Chains A and B, each alone.
Chain A
Amino acid sequence: MNLAGFTEPAPWTLWIGTIGRGSILLAGIAFLVAIALSFKAPTKDKPRRALFIFGSSLFGLAMGIKVVLAVTGQYHYQYVFNHSSRDLELAFKVASSWAGQEGSFLLWACCSALFACLALKFTGLYERWFTIVSSGFLAFLAGILSFESPFKLLEAINGRILTPPDGNGLTPALINYWIVIHPPIIFLGFGSLLVMYAWAMAAMATKNLDDWIVPVRPWAIVSTTLVGLGLCLGGFWAYEMLNWGGFWMWDPVENTSFVPWVAAAAFLHGCFIQAARKRGHFMNLVLAAIPFLSFCYGTFLTRSGFLGDTSVHSFANMDRNALWILVATGSTALLTFLGLWIVRLRQAKSILPEPILATPDTALNKSAGYTSAIWMLLFFGLVTGIGMSVPLIQSLTGQQPRMVQEQLYHFVLGWAFPPFMLGMALVPFTTWRGLTPKALLGKVNLALAASIFLAGLTLILVGNDNLVVAYDAERTVSMPWGGAVPATPWVIFLGWLCIFAVTSNVLRMASLWKTAKLSTGGLLTHIGFAAALFGLVISRGFQQKVQTIVHPDYPASVFGYQIAFIDKPYNFADRYNQIDLLMTGRGETYTARPGLYFTTGNDGTQQPQLWPYIKHSPFFDVIVILYPGDKNATGETTFAVDEERAFQDVLLTYKGLETEGEMGAPGATFRAVFDYATPTDAGTLRATMRIGEDQNFVFEDGILGSSYALRLNRIDAATKSATVTLMYQRDAYPLEIFFKPLTIFVWTGVALMTLGGGVSAFSRWRSAKPRKRDLAEPEGTEPESKKKEDAPEPVAQV
């Protein structure tokens, strides 16, 4: 083995790794001791709290050590060697800490611990059981991390630990700013799911199913906001850095985030019902648990190997012990929840408060609206969860694997989309007592009119070739029942549903602005969500895509643009290399700069890496993707004597074969004679193949004008046929151009959705501050019967 460049690691780099390993182990012990103390001395809050915070801090310490090892290039650690390298910028070295399996588990542990610590102070009566449940889960994670350790050293060489001169680095596709942003945010969201679950378990353990809902609500909002934001950022990453011009493709890894998100959204809607009407206690316990449990399941699915070929994401084989601990974690969480839930269900009459018995006047009431939203959100989550489980189901039943295509998700989920969006538009105007249809219509008619107007405006916009690339009126869309409908009206209808939700929530927000500003956070979230969906629907529904070629000698013409390759020296070894394409047309001129560079694989092959150039404008995005150049204009084509074939503007006629020398011997030469004709030129060329001294073939291409050459690949001595490839004299570059109208709404919508979530969480947190009554209660007392100050919130708020 060549040990050039290998060095002895500094002693501190070894004992710091030991500290990291030890931190995780100690954290697990701290959590277990905290649990034991909770049972041994249930009234002693401070030691239990201190142990919990101590254990959580140790996860943070481990992560800090992990980052230090990556940043300082301690490649004698397996994880650092596999995911970091010298040439990475500092931000990417830090991000490498969560790019790998072990790092992502540690990130999950840190974020879960962080949120549990933050929420602890607000749990009041539930703190003890909240701590027990959280400690249990975090102890399980410590167990996983003991086997999937980010602090494993490389194997010793001749009995010595040596530091390689460099690491393998990040996969090129990950070296962009999104790796720094997206994982921390989405894992903060995943970590926050523990809070809802632990709180629900604590509520059941204390038999107080009522007092937790108001304080947990801001955490549910934060969780939904963070997971949603993380999800959307993942979509932006795909859009900006990958080459399929989209945000989402229902990959199982994406679905693992989507299911908890919609389930968390369902829970926070359930919180409103329980807070206002004192109903839905058992439903909310389940809704609080589903996000966490579904994420545990999704984690198992994506890392267990069952997905096989059905996901574009690749996963390292998880350590078997760690995988079993993961299974045990999820199973324990599920079974203990279910067991306790069933027990409490049987005791419902004795532990539930009296519901608000005021029966709504009509069916169009807020309670029914929220309940419908919950069911539809659960439907979205269930469908997605089943879809991503198909490979597992097939595998467990011994059948051949299957893959659920994107279109199938759309077919099934599409059924719930219209009622869901209509509900989002109408329910904010309902009251707890209910409205008649006429009264409700009276409240929304302005929003309805505005939405129809805006939908019409959208239709005019997407059909105006001066503003955008006009849609293809002939396109159809397949429907679930087997037929097809014209795409344009269908997409406009879906877009209208989103617009209606926006206008309706804007009007409602305006009506509440003077009296309850902070209560409009939820409405702002609806506006953002619907706007983002509108952007997705329109940009995808009216998307156009063209594949063409750009050549230094020939500009391409697409979507009203002339695209000229700017011929200058490019450094294809530079990670930041971009190719300049002059785009002229549609009243503007600019330089598109799609990225293209090459890395060298371990086997010496040149591997292309690329990223798109995106031109954003208010009305549309243009995505330009440039693929590696190649000289092959055609594939291999076999000509019989006197056969004519055409390629674009070139006509070739094969006249026959000339031979020299002895067949099979060095120096034997074969010349395929072709007549060619182009609009500007005509003549005869010869493509030659000669047997060299070493028995290898030597090719001399026939030159055709200034742009093409003809390569003789092989001949058939019996028939005199010739197999040739027409080639460009210089590399031609395949281009994919996407045209996506109104994508700006996706970005804007996500920003508004996040802002709304923040405002709403703040508003609910302020109103959920512990009352003096809660602080004064001694530990371990039974929950008090309901008093007047526990009256539900004013119904005017959303």
Chain B
Amino acid sequence: MKTGALLGIIASAGVLTAVSYTFLTQSTQYVTVAQAKSMKGDNLSLAGVVDKKSIDVSVGENKVRFVLTDDEGTSVRVVYTGPAPTNLLTADRAVALGGMKEDGWFHARNLMLKCPSKYEADKPAMAGKNSQYQPEPMKPAGGDSK
């Protein structure tokens, strides 16, 4: 085999290995509620079913709050900063990207919502990217936000 071809194969294998390693280790990990509570960071993907009755939209605060139940049946309260995704009421499942905070809520910076099974290019809202909105909840006068 020619040297050039051999070097090409080795280089290709190297690139393939590096890319695969990067994707498999750096991609966002799906977690359960229990795992999310034990992990730090805000790059966790929490998947589960939305409790439709728990959805609380606050336009003034630019927040949406709801309860998400993972596949193990454990629930957590999720707060998402941004307008309520339009298919939140119809979504079968949601994937919240974010992390747990000290207040016990899962703070999501992105929401991906999956509609009921049907083959179509149905892209639900992926709101919240690079948001510059500064929400203003009711604050104690002269103090920090709640």
Contact, CB under 8 Å: A309 / B120 = no
- Complex-state Cα separation, A202 to B15, whole angstroms: 32
Contact, CB under 8 Å: B23 / A171 = no
List residues 709-758 of chain A with CB under 8 A from any CB of chain B: 726, 728, 732-734, 736
Contacts A627-B86, A647-B60 given; does A314 touch B119 at CB 8 Å: yes
Contact, CB under 8 Å: B118 / A403 = no
B127 contacts across to A, CB distance below 8 A: 243-244, 736
Contact, CB under 8 Å: B83 / A402 = no
Contact, CB under 8 Å: B126 / A249 = yes
Identify B132's interface contact among A379, A412, A547, A629, CB under 8 A: A547
Q: Mark A572-611, 1 if CB is under 8 A from B, else 0.
A: 0000000000000000000000000000010001011110
Contact, CB under 8 Å: B47 / A309 = yes
Contact, CB under 8 Å: A547 / B82 = yes
User: What is the minimal beta-carbon distance from B142 to any residue of chain A, in angstroms?
Assistant: 8
Which residues from chain A sit less than 8 Å from chain B, CB to CB? 82, 99-101, 104, 170-171, 173-174, 234, 237-238, 242-244, 249, 251, 253, 303, 309, 312-317, 379, 382-383, 386-387, 390, 393-394, 400-405, 408, 411-412, 543-549, 601, 605, 607-610, 627-637, 643-648, 651-653, 726, 728, 732-734, 736
Q: Is B7 part of the binding interface, using a Cβ–Cβ cutoff of 8 Å?
A: no
In the complex, given contacts A387-B23, A405-B28, what are 6 additional A-B residue pairs having Cβ atoms less than 8 angstroms apart?
A242-B125, A309-B45, A315-B119, A627-B86, A632-B59, A633-B61
- Complex-state Cα separation, A101 to B15, whole angstroms: 36
- Complex-state Cα separation, A559 to B63, whole angstroms: 22
Task: Show 6 residue pairs from A and B whose CB-CB distance is below 8 angstroms, ordered by the A residue.
Answer: A242-B123, A242-B125, A314-B92, A386-B19, A411-B22, A734-B84
Contact, CB under 8 Å: A633 / B118 = no
Contacts A549-B60, A632-B60, A726-B138 given; does A412 touch B23 at CB 8 Å: yes
List residues 98-128 of chain B with CB under 8 A from any CB of chain A: 112-127
Contact, CB under 8 Å: A634 / B28 = no
Contact, CB under 8 Å: B136 / A647 = yes
User: What is the minimal beta-carbon distance from A298 to any residue of chain B, in angstroms?
Assistant: 14
Q: What are the 5 A-B residue pairs with the smallest beta carbon separation, nearest first? A: A633-B60, A547-B133, A644-B141, A101-B119, A734-B83
User: What is the minimal beta-carbon distance from A775 to any residue of chain B, in angstroms?
Assistant: 38
Contact, CB under 8 Å: A605 / B27 = no
Contact, CB under 8 Å: B132 / A314 = no
Contact, CB under 8 Å: B122 / A312 = yes
B43 contacts across to A, CB distance below 8 A: 405
A646 contacts across to B, CB distance below 8 A: 138-141
Identify A312's interface contact among B22, B58, B112, CB under 8 A: B112
Contacts A601-B89, A632-B59, A644-B141 given; does A404 touch B23 at CB 8 Å: yes
Contact, CB under 8 Å: A547 / B62 = yes
Contacts A313-B121, A646-B138 given; does A390 touch B23 at CB 8 Å: yes
Q: Is B131 part of the binding interface, using a Cβ–Cβ cutoff of 8 Å?
A: yes
Residue of B nearest to A650 (CB): B138
Main secondary structure of the interface of B (DSSP, over half): loop
Contact, CB under 8 Å: A404 / B28 = yes
Contact, CB under 8 Å: B138 / A403 = no
A544 contacts across to B, CB distance below 8 A: 132
Contact, CB under 8 Å: A100 / B119 = yes
User: What is the minimal beta-carbon distance from B6 to any residue of chain A, in angstroms?
Assistant: 15
Contact, CB under 8 Å: A627 / B23 = no
Identify B137's interface contact among A104, A379, A383, A637, CB under 8 A: A637
- Complex-state Cα separation, A253 to B59, whole angstroms: 33
Contact, CB under 8 Å: B89 / A607 = yes
Identify A379's interface contact among B15, B89, B112, CB under 8 A: B15
Contacts A404-B23, A608-B86 given; does A546 touch B132 at CB 8 Å: yes
Contact, CB under 8 Å: A313 / B86 = no
Q: Is B26 part of the binding interface, using a Cβ–Cβ cutoff of 8 Å?
A: yes
Contact, CB under 8 Å: A648 / B136 = yes
- Complex-state Cα separation, A646 to B143, whole angstroms: 10
Contact, CB under 8 Å: B19 / A382 = yes
- Complex-state Cα separation, A329 to B133, whole angstroms: 50
- Complex-state Cα separation, A238 to B124, whole angstroms: 11
List residues 39-80 of chain B with CB under 8 A from any CB of chain A: 43, 45, 47, 52, 56-63, 65
Contact, CB under 8 Å: B27 / A601 = no
B132 contacts across to A, CB distance below 8 A: 544-547
Q: Is B129 part of the binding interface, using a Cβ–Cβ cutoff of 8 Å?
A: yes
User: What is the minimal beta-carbon distance from B105 to any residue of chain A, in angstroms?
Assistant: 11
- Complex-state Cα separation, A107 to B20, whole angstroms: 34
- Complex-state Cα separation, A296 to B112, whole angstroms: 26
User: What is the minimal beta-carbon distance from A730 to any residue of chain B, in angstroms?
Assistant: 11
- Complex-state Cα separation, A653 to B142, whole angstroms: 13
